[in-house]
Amino acid sequence: MDTHSHLLPPNWKTKITEWLQEDIPSFDYGGYVVGEKETTAILYGKSEGIVAGVPFFTEIFEQLGCRVEWHVSEGHVLKPIQTCAHVYGPVRQILIGERTALNLIARCSGIASQAHRLRLLKEKTGFKGVIAGTRKTTPGFRLVEKYGMLVGGADTHRMDLSSMIMLKDNHVWSTGSISAAVAKAKAVGGFALKIEVECRSEEEADEAIGAGADIVMLDNFKGDALKSAAGNIKARWAAKGRQVLIECSGGVTEQTIEGYFCDEIDIISLGSMTQGVSFVDFSLKVQKTA
């Protein structure tokens, strides 16, 4: 099955172990009722969306001594109600993993579905830039949420504070100026890390670029003001031989993103790709015994 599992870090399976331990810290009373007899459960996709999170779902049941047989590929477009997988193993072990697995695949698939819809809007309009998520992720669940972005066709943006240097208003206010903040960042980030600066005006963007920023984020700009500012900044610095990436962010949603598409913008980032996203509905049903 084609997944993005080869991207996952060496410690990802320990997260699965922690999630299982969280859900059953002491006695398994329901498991006592059903016992260890071998059975089969079917994973049903019950709402439209993109299937994502296959390796996580599979690992949950493998850690419990069960086997998962998939009938859809990761990235598959669900048309409910659809049989997605069979899970084989002791009934108690299947039920131990049931809720953790469903919670995980529902959220990961919801994020992938949002990313997929955004990608379709990009393709429909011919926007040449990047649509990205943000670091507005659930603590302890970031790996799964960023994974869902990739499956759906979006850019993950920076994974964490160590991935790229992003200087926002609080950094600038705490340092005294954009120039001072960029200088301190360059002193420790070296050549390997890009520097991005959040800017509220063309003047701030010019200061950031002049100080050595690689990317400027135009925060909460909208409509013609966004396109005008981005165009002006690019033209000014192109005349000086500098190419700079421009990102826009702040209040962008699936419903409004088309208003941000323009040739002057290189990156559009959305916190709404992970915050407030609708889940995809799945259920796992153990087959009745005769």
| Catalytic residue set | 136
DSSP labels, 162-219? TTSEEE-HHHHHHHSSHHHHHHHHHHHHTTTS-EEEEESSHHHHHHHHHHT-SEEEEE
Q: Is 248 left (phi over 0), alpha (psi -120 to 50) or beta?
A: beta
Q: How far apart are alpha carbons 15 and 19 in whole angstroms? A: 6
Q: How far apart are alpha carbons 58 and 151 in whole angstroms? A: 16
| Interacting residues of 135 by C-beta distance below 8 A, sequence separation 6+ | 142, 157, 158, 159, 160, 161
